[in-house]
C-alpha cells in the first residue's frame, strides 16, 4: 500500500464576492478596534456621521441611512443619548416623530472619530495609487447600485 499524499493546503477562493466580503470583514474589524479606543462602535460612528451630515433626522430615516433595523437604531440612539452625544427632541411640526441631533460633545466625538477613520483608510489604501482608489470607489458604488437593483427586482446584467 502506498502512502497517501498530504491534502493540499486550503486556498481561499479568489472570486470577487469572496474577496469583497473578506475585505469588508477585515476593514470592519480594524475599524471596530480603532474606534473602540475612543469608546465608540462603528455603528455609533455611522449614526453620529449621518447626524452631522443632516441634523434632525428621525429614527426611521437614520435606520435607513445606517442600514440597520428600527430596534437597532433605537438601541443605538438610546445609548448615544445616555452618553450625552445626541439629544432627541419632538418634531416641531408635531406628531409622534422624534428627531435626533448632535450635542456639542457629540460634535467633538464625531470629529475625533473622523480622524481615526481617515487614518485607517490611509493605512489600508497606502499601496494603492489615487487613480486606482478612484476606480475602486466607482466600481464599489456600481456594485452597491446593482445589488440594490437586483434586490428590488429590476434588471441588471444577468438575472440571478
CA angle 50, 105, 74 (to 5 degrees): 45
Q: Which domains does the chain have, with CATH numbers?
A: 16-124 (1.10.10.10)
β-pair type (98-102, 86-90): antiparallel
Query: pLDDT value at position 49?
Result: 97
For residues 57 and 99, what is the distance between their CA atoms, to the nearest angstrom? 5
pLDDT, tens digit only, all 160 positions of the chain: 677 888 788 888 889 999 999 999 999 999 999 999 889 999 999 999 999 999 999 999 999 999 999 999 999 999 999 999 999 998 888 778 899 999 999 999 999 999 999 999 999 999 999 999 999 999 999 999 998 888 888 766 555 5
* DSSP per-residue letters across 48-106: HHHHHHSSSEEHHHHHHHHT--HHHHHHHHHHHHHTTSEEEEE-TT-SS-EEEEE-HHH
Do 70 and 80 contact (CB within 8 A), yes or no?
A: no
Amino acid at each position: 500500500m502506498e502512502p497517501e499524499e498530504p491534502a493540499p493546503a486550503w486556498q481561499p477562493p479568489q472570486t470577487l464576492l469572496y474577496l469583497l466580503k473578506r475585505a469588508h470583514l477585515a476593514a470592519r474589524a480594524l475599524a471596530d478596534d480603532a474606534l473602540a479606543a475612543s469608546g465608540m462602535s462603528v455603528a455609533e460612528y455611522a449614526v453620529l456621521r449621518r447626524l452631522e451630515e443632516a441634523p434632525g433626522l428621525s429614527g426611521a430615516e437614520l435606520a435607513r441611512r445606517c442600514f440597520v433595523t428600527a430596534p437597532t437604531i433605537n438601541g443605538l440612539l438610546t445609548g448615544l443619548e445616555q452618553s450625552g452625544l445626541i439629544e432627541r427632541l419632538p418634531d416641531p411640526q408635531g406628531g409622534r416623530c422624534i428627531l435626533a441631533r448632535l450635542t456639542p460633545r457629540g460634535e467633538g466625538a464625531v470629529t475625533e472619530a473622523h480622524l481615526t477613520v481617515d487614518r485607517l483608510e490611509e493605512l489600508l489604501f497606502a499601496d494603492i495609487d489615487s487613480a486606482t482608489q478612484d476606480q475602486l470607489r466607482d466600481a464599489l458604488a456600481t456594485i452597491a447600485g446593482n445589488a440594490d437593483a437586483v434586490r428590488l427586482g429590476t434588471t441588471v446584467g444577468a438575472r440571478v
